[in-house]
Amino acid sequence: MVFRRERSRAAGASRRRNTGMMEYSSSGGLQQARVAAPGRKRPSLAAIYRPVRHEMEELERRLDQVIEGAPADLKEQLAYTLKAGGKRIRPALTLLAGSFYRYDVDLLLPMGTAVELLHTATLLHDDTIDSSHIRRGKLTANRLWGNVNAVLLGDYLSAASAHMVAEAGKAWSLRSVTDTRSIRAMELLAQTIMNICGGAIEESLHPFDADEERYFTRIARKTASLFSAAAESGALLSEAPDQAVECLKNYGYKLGMGFQIVDDILDFGSDVRRGSLTLPVILFLQREENRWVRETLERDTERGVKLLIEMVSGSPVVDECYRIAGDLCTQACAELEQLPRSPAYSSLVNLARYIARHES
């Protein structure tokens, strides 16, 4: 069986950007229209998660167990953080990716829980680094309990994630999953933590950096790496063929890239204020007619930031960024084409459609 990688092509598109693992067309195209066409109804997460809905409910119970098993002084903070209304996209990826071959909930649930714990830890650290005060409509942990406590809470959840994977090792030893695959799954989360930290360090070292290539490297490390690890670990633990593991890994990567671009469109103003230039702003500043805005930013940061937020909002680059994100989500779906058709397959395709239309 041949596992092939497709690229969407737009008629007359002359500019392509390299995002690390693939190229995409900045002007979209026929393939992209399949995912992000305005006429399509946006699928709901409840419908997307339906094939693994019982497992997702059990995952919530496992998060409750993490809270209950914590020292008394931490329980309130953990409950506030873990029950803050997250969409649980990453653990759902693990469960859905693990549904194509040998589905074993005793292996997949600990890994999905570990993925969600790690994701939450990164949010705590991000909010502290960025001095953010609001997330998902609620006060952040650093705003409520201070930076020191927020960082330590993130560290605790990172350790809880590692502990969850180690506990899963007990189940792995009783299954037919090979030692190599279980070790690879554990290595994935460790490598992902390093990638996320590397991306955050790079961002802090280059404030107001308008380098497009560095932007894609950063979001690949900070966001796409965890999406990719979530999908790959599910495939590994279901004993998927190596080529299928690669396809699901690439699906997660491209989905994560698209997710972050859409997220950056929705919140580019806050990013600019803290010195992080994301794709909408970078593409805006690349245009020759906007050179003067870049010069203003270099001379007078405060005035330049205000100008950028005002001008980017009404600029065509916003639609261009949505097209790029949609193209990446379509490429993610193309990675699934050689996998067995199943409810999980449909859910992963619909998850890409959901992300391409992500609004909040």
Residue 29 lies inside a defined structural domain of this protein: yes
Residue 19 lies inside a defined structural domain of this protein: no
For residue 96, the enclosing domain spans: 24-356
Report residue 14's pLDDT band, with 50, 70 and 90 as the boundaries: very low
Residue 66 lies inside a defined structural domain of this protein: yes
Gap between the Cα atoms of 261 and 19, Å rounded: 12
Residue 15 lies inside a defined structural domain of this protein: no
Q: Check residue 308 and give its pLDDT.
A: 85
243 residue type, one letter: Q
Query: Percentage of the chain surpassing pLDDT 70?
Result: 86
In the structure encoding, which two tokens stand for residue 264, read together? Answer: 């950056």
- For range 306-326, the mean pLDDT: 92
- For range 179-206, the mean pLDDT: 88
175 residue type, one letter: R
Q: Check residue 136 and give its pLDDT.
A: 84
In the structure encoding, which two tokens stand for residue 252, read together? Answer: 């997660």
CATH code, 146: 1.10.600.10
- 309-312 CB contacts, 8 Å cutoff, 24+ apart: 309/268, 309/269, 309/272, 309/273, 311/284, 312/268, 312/280, 312/281, 312/284
Q: What's the pLDDT tens digit per position in 321-353? A: 999 999 999 999 999 999 999 999 999 999 999
Q: What's the pLDDT tens digit per position in 70-85? A: 999 999 999 999 998 8
CB neighbour class for 273 (10 Å; exposed up to 12, middle 13-18, buried from 19) = middle
- Most distant CA pair in the chain, distance: 64
Work out how many domains the chain is built from and give that number.
1
Dihedral sign computed on CA atoms, order 220, 226, 227, 228: positive
Residue 18 lies inside a defined structural domain of this protein: no
Residue 9 lies inside a defined structural domain of this protein: no
Residue 4 lies inside a defined structural domain of this protein: no
pLDDT at 111 over 70: yes
Strands (E), the chain: 16-18, 23-25, 134-135, 138-139
pLDDT at 16 over 60: no
Residue among 309, 327, 191, 158 nearest 257 (CA): 327
DSSP secondary structure string for all residues of 310-334: HHHHTSTHHHHHHHHHHHHHHHHHH
Report residue 124's pLDDT band, with 50, 70 and 90 as the boundaries: very high
Do the Cβ atoms of 96 and 344 come closer than 8 Å?
Answer: yes
Residue among 168, 278, 156 nearest 214 (CA): 278
State which of 24-33, 126-135, 161-170, 347-356 shows the largest mean pLDDT: 347-356
Q: What's the pLDDT tens digit per position in 203-251? A: 999 888 889 999 999 999 999 999 999 999 999 999 899 999 999 999 9
Q: Check residue 43 and give its pLDDT.
A: 86
Residue 284 lies inside a defined structural domain of this protein: yes
